[in-house]
Every structure is written in structure tokens, then in C-alpha cells.
Amino acid sequence: MDYELLKLIWWVLIGVLLVGFAVTDGFDMGVGALLRLLAKTDSERRVLLNTVGPHWDGNQVWLITAAGAIFAAWPVVYSVAFSGLYWAFLLVLFAMFFRPVGFEYRSKMTDPRWRSAWDWGLTIGGAVPALVFGVAFGNMFLGVPFSLDEFMRSAYSGSFWQLLNPFGLLCGVISLLMLSMHGAAYLQMRTAGELRQRARRAGFLLAVAVAVCFALAGIWVSYLPGYVIQSAGDVGAAMTPLMKTVSLRDGGWLANYQTFTWMIAAPVIGFAGLLLVAVASLLNRSALAFVGSSFAVAGVICTAGFSLFPFLLPSSLIPDQSLTIWDVTSSALTLNIMFWVAMIFVPIILSYTLWGYYKMWGRLTTDFIEDNQYSTY
């Protein structure tokens, strides 16, 4: 396959992995974020935890694999983004520390203080990564202050606090509300009685809130200066981010929707999904709410990715050095090998993951938890 096509394919593949992460791990993070809000008693909280109990660990591998795939396919992004956004990534990391231990250790002791402490941990482990990922996405639209020298050593001249600007925070809120909504949609399918009613109400309210914020962000973006490539260089050859010129234009981030009109499908699917969540939650159609929620999550993430295309991480310091899908990739050989590895393994992963869900499917009740208190989370 030619190099240019491979670069494009890898943009799609990393997108698939990120959407895979948000659609799977997204709902268990959402359940974490909602843990203290939806469930009042200890048994209710255990119901919530056990709906995702057998699955959260496998789901989390989507994130780990997406990060690994970025390392392998976009080493420059891995290098610049992880080191530049040092504290943002460490914040995600430390928040995620609470998850494996929170799930595993929480119900191993009966002391209410012990359990309450881990519940806070699981809430942080669900909410903080969701928030920070959104903030990071928001800052991609604004550009972050990094530069590269001729040896490709990167330096970042901003601070962590700079990321917490109004637009970044709005995107963070969208991400947090969206994954919480996804969690509420999942819980509608896996809980019964009062818990399920609460999950329906949460699903409806969150869907409306996400729709409002998402629309607001869309309007905001149309006023933001967008990055546009002036001279791209030879995108079919080996490139570094030092080989092109870039300019800024107001509303430039929406230009893609005129050039590639099909991209409009992403925000449309996003809004349609949100509508479906709201309606299905009201009508008590839980499976439909989850389908809508999955589409909403995918639509919102794709909207961000499509708007930025072909940029990945613009540099506000030296726009010419912005990272794009053409100049951050691995060699053609590595992209090719990794493409085939992904083609073989992603379907296998999907099939055994689905088998796992199929085997563990069903609504969980507080009675079940009380009958199995020594063998559940």
C-alpha cells in the first residue's frame, strides 16, 4: 500500500480505537462518575459496580491499546503530547489508579468508612479522566505552545493551568456529561426497580445537557481561529513536522465541512444519538437508549476529529510545526505491519468481548448482591 494511504488508514484506525475506548470504557467510567449520585445504599452501589464488574478491565485495554497504537503509528504525537501535557496525563494516570484497586478492594472489608473511601476513589477514577480527555481535545482546537528543534527534540512552554481555559473546560464538561450519560444508558439495561428509574431520569437529563453544550461548542468553534495548511510538502513521503507552512484563519476549523461535505454526518449522528437517548429513556426502552448513547459518543468524538483533520496537535507557538497526520507517522513498513496486526486481532477481540457480555448479561438486583456478598465486588 502506498504511504499516503497508510497514513490516512492509521488516522481512521486510531479514531476507531479511541471511539472503541469511549464506547466501552466510557460507560464504566460513567458508572463510576454516577456511583454516589444514583446509588444510596451499600447494596445499590454494589449493584452498580457489579454491572461493570466483569467488563471494566477488558474495556480499559482499549485505552491502553490506543496509547500503544499512537506510540507505534504516531511516535511524534506520543512524544510531544505526553511530555508537553505532562501534568494532564499524570492526572489521568493517578485518577485511574483508583479503578483496579477500587473495584477489587472495596467490598473486601465491611467497614463503611473503608467502602465510602473507595467509592470516592471510583468516582474520581471515572470522572477525572473523562474531564481531562475533554479538556485535552478542547485545547487541540486552540493549539498548545510547543516547539521542535532540528533534532526533533520537543519543548513545551506552557503550564498545566493554561489548559483550563474556558473553551477547554467546556469540552471537558461535554466529555464528562457524555460519558456519564453513557453510563446511565448502560445502567438502564443492567439494573431493575428504583435504580433503573433513577438511571432513566439521569439519562434523559444528561442527554439534554450534552446536546446544549455540544451545540454551544459548535458555535464557539465557528468564531475560533482555525489552522490551515498553506504548503503541505510531499505527503506520500517520509516527513517531519518541520516541512510545511501553516496559517490561521477565523472559523478555519469548519472548512472541512465544505470541502468534504460527508463529514457533516458526524455531528448529525451525534445529535441524533442524543435525541434517541432522551426519547428512549422517557419511553423506557433501555437497549435503544444505549444504542443512541453509543452513536452519540462516536458522533461527538468524530466531529472533533473531522474538524481538526488533518491536524492532530496544532502548535500555538510555531504554527508551521503543528502535528498533522502526514508528518508524525512511523515508517511505511511499521504502519503496514501494524495495519495487518490490527486487521487480524480487532475482530478476534470483538468476538470474545461480545461472548463475555453475552455470558454475563442480565439485570442485577440488590437481592442478588446480598445473596452473593462474598463472591461479588
Residues 82-121 that bind other proteins (CB under 8 A): 82-83, 86-87, 89-90, 93-94, 96-97, 99-101, 103-105, 107-110
Distance between CA atoms of 15 and 13, rounded to whole angstroms?
Answer: 5
Which residue number, 37 or 152, has a Cβ lying nearer to other proteins? 152
Question: Which cell numbers in the block locate residue 310?
Answer: 488533518
| Range 224-263, binding other proteins (CB under 8 A) | 238-240
Type of residue found at 300:
V
- 64, 268, 283, 287: which one binds other proteins (CB under 8 A): 64
Q: Which of 115, 10, 1 is nearest to 327 (CA)?
A: 10
Residue 374 near other proteins by CB under 8 A: yes
Residue 63 or 213: the one with the smaller Cβ distance to other proteins is: 63
How many residues contact other proteins, by CB under 8 A? Answer: 73
Which grid coordinates are listed for 376? 461479588
* Three cell numbers written together for 374: 462474598
Q: How far is the CB of 144 from other proteins (least distance, A)?
A: 14
Using only the alpha carbons of the chain, give its radius of gyration.
21
Among 4, 16, 43, 75, binds other proteins (CB under 8 A): 75
Closest distance between other proteins and the C-beta of residue 54, in Å? 3
* Binding residue (CB under 8 A) for other proteins from 36, 54, 208, 255: 54
Residue 323 parent element (H or E): strand 323-324
Q: CB 259 → other proteins: shortest distance, Å?
A: 28
As a whole number of angstroms, the distance between CA 267 and CA 307 comes to 10
Binding flag, residue 12, other proteins (CB under 8 A): no
Q: How near is the Cβ of 100 to other proteins at its closest, in Å?
A: 4
* Minimum gap (Å) between residue 176 Cβ and other proteins: 20
Residue burial 83-109, b: 16+ Cβ < 10 Å; e: rest = ebbeebbebbeebbebbeebbeebbee
Task: Identify which of residues 31 and 76 has a Cβ nearer to other proteins in the complex.
Answer: 76
Residue position matching grid coordinates 449520585: 37
37: β partners: none
Chain positions 314 to 373 lying near other proteins, rule: CB under 8 A, are 330-331, 333-334, 337-338, 341-342, 345-346, 349, 352-353, 356, 359-360, 373
Residue 155 host element (H or E): strand 154-156
Among 43, 79, 256, 365, binds other proteins (CB under 8 A): 79
Angle at alpha carbon of residue 269, lines to 287 and 176, rounded to 5°: 70
Question: Contact between 161 and other proteins (CB under 8 A)?
Answer: no
CA distance linking residue 182 with residue 51, whole number of Å: 14
Cβ 349 to other proteins shortest distance, Å: 5
H/E segment holding residue 246: strand 245-250
Q: Using the minimum distance from each CB to other proteins, give the nearer residue, 110 or 261.
A: 110
- Asked whether position 10 contacts other proteins by CB under 8 A, the answer is no
Residues sharing a CB contact under 8 Å with residue 94, sequence separation 6 or more, in sequence order: none
**In this complex, which beta carbon is closest to other proteins, that of residue 82 or of residue 167?**
82
Report, in Å, the least distance between residue 281 CB and other proteins.
27
Q: Rule CB under 8 A: is residue 290 a binding residue for other proteins?
A: no
CB of 53 vs other proteins, minimal distance in Å: 6
Closest CA to 187 of 51, 355, 366: 51
Q: Which stretch binds other proteins (CB under 8 A): 71-79, 163-171, 247-255, 280-288?
A: 71-79
Nearer to other proteins, 137 or 306 (CB): 137
- What SS3 class is residue 250? strand
Are residues 4 and 154 in contact, defined by beta-carbon separation less than 8 angstroms?
A: no
Residue at grid coordinates 482499549? 62
Shortest separation between residue 340's beta carbon and other proteins, angstroms: 10
Closest contact distance (angstroms) between CB of 50 and other proteins is: 8
Q: How many residues does the chain have?
A: 377
CA proximity to 312, closest of 121, 103, 85: 85
